[in-house]
Amino acid sequence: MAFKEFGNYDAVGLAELVRDKQVTARELLDEAIDRTARVDPEINAVVVKHYNYAEQQIEKGLPDGPFTGVPFLLKDLDLLQGTRTTSGASVNRDFVADHSSTLTQRFLETGVTIFGKTSSPEFGLMPTTETRLFGPTRNPWNLAHSSGGSSGGAAAVVAARILPVAHASDGGGSIRIPASACGVFGMKPSRARNPVGPDRGEGWSGFSTAHVVSISVRDSAVMMDAIHGPEPWSPYIAPPPARPFSQEVSRDPGKLRISFTDKSPYGDAIDSEVAAAVRDTAKLLADLGHHVEERAPTLPADPAVVMTAIVSANTAVTVRTIEQRIGRAVTRDDLEILSLASAHNAQGIVSADYITMQLAAFQISRSLAIFFEGCDVFLSPTLCTPPIRLGEINTMSEDLAHIGPILRRYMPGTSMFNMSGQPAMSVPLAWSKDGLPLGMMFAAKLGEEAMLFRLAGQLEQVRPWKDKRPPICV
Contact 51, 158 (CB under 8 A): no
Give the integer Cα–Cα distance in Å for 455 and 383: 20
Q: How far is CA 146 from CA 17, 36, 54, 378, in A?
A: 34, 19, 29, 26
Question: Is 150 annotated in the active site?
Answer: yes
Q: Which of 150, 169, 214, 339 is catalytic?
A: 150
Whether residue 138 contacts residue 147, with contact meaning beta carbons closer than 8 Å, is answered with: yes
CA atoms within 13 A on the CB side of 330: 25
- Single out the catalytic residue among 174, 208, 380, 415: 174
Amino acid at 182: C
Beta bridge partners of 430: 438
The closest alpha carbon to 126, from 421, 414, 424, belongs to: 414
User: Pick the catalytic residue: 75, 117, 263, 445?
Assistant: 75
Catalytic residues: 75, 150, 174
